Amino acid sequence: MGYKVDLVDLNGKTIKSFTGENITIQPGETKTLSAKSRVAGLNFWSWGYGYLYQVKTSLLVNDQPVDVVTTKTGFRKTAFKDGMIYLNDRVMMVHGYAQRTSNEWPALGTSVPAWMSDYSNGLMVESGGNLVRWMHIAPSKQDVESCDRVGLIQAMPAGDAEKDVEGTRWDQRVAVMHDAIIYNRNNPSIIFL
């Protein structure tokens, strides 16, 4: 058994393909596979420039794909040092919005189509905002992916309140944050947790 990774750009062009080593997995056995390769000439995801790639991971049996998982993601570089925030090696002054996590619209509530999320999140970018801080809980996956597309940085809480908590409530908050990080790990717009 083997595996292959294809990196595909916005135009559908495969810009890099690479494979991992062939392995044998016994019945009932679990293994973690990894493959890596350097890629030159990437378009970095940035504020107002939501450049996304598809990473297609294929499981191969007899050199034929038997399972393919496609992950949409972007690449960016962040640093937090000397009291400053860096995005792709540039210092960034952060300013933006504290939006209700529900991000609802009049008459529609939270049942909005994806284009409407892109529209409302895009308005934040067009107004000069480069950050949205969702209030109290993690946003919907639709809004997370919308921010990826429009290039809006997110501060993602995952279950907080108006003050610090202790004991069981703190443990619950940590568990929710753990799950939110895993669920949204491939979204380049999430920089702050």
DSSP secondary structure, the chain, as one string: -EEEEEEE-TTS-EEEEEE-------TT------------SPPPPBTTB---EEEEEEEEETTEEEEEEEEEE----EEEETTEEEETTEEE---EEEEETT--BTTTBT---HHHHHHHHHHHHHTT--EEEEESSPPPHHHHHHHHHHT-EEE---S--SS---HHHHHHHHHHHHHHHHHTTT-TTEEE-
> pLDDT (tens digit, 0 to 9) for every residue of the chain, 193 residues total?
888 999 999 999 999 999 988 888 899 999 888 888 999 999 999 999 999 999 999 998 888 999 999 999 999 999 999 999 999 999 999 999 998 888 888 888 888 999 999 999 999 999 999 999 998 888 999 999 999 999 999 998 877 767 778 889 889 888 988 999 999 999 999 987 7
Give the C-alpha distances (Å, rounded to integers) separating 163 from 159, 166, 171, 180: 12, 10, 15, 20
| Residue that is last in its domain, among 17, 52, 73 | 73
Which residue segment(s) compose the domain that 121 sits in?
78-192
Query: Is 40 in the same domain as 83?
Result: no
Query: Is 121 in the same domain as 181?
Result: yes
Domains in the chain, number: 2
Query: Is 67 in the same domain as 120?
Result: no
CATH code (residue 173): 3.20.20.80
What tokens were used for 6?
Answer: 């294809």
Share of the chain above pLDDT 70, in %: 98
- Residue 167, sorted as left (phi over 0), alpha (psi -120 to 50) or beta, turns out to be left
Query: Is 182 in the same domain as 122?
Result: yes
pLDDT of residue 73: 96
pLDDT of residue 23: 87
CATH code (residue 35): 2.60.40.10
Query: Is 115 in the same domain as 173?
Result: yes
Query: Is 136 in the same domain as 181?
Result: yes
Query: Is 123 in the same domain as 148?
Result: yes
Query: Is 53 in the same domain as 124?
Result: no
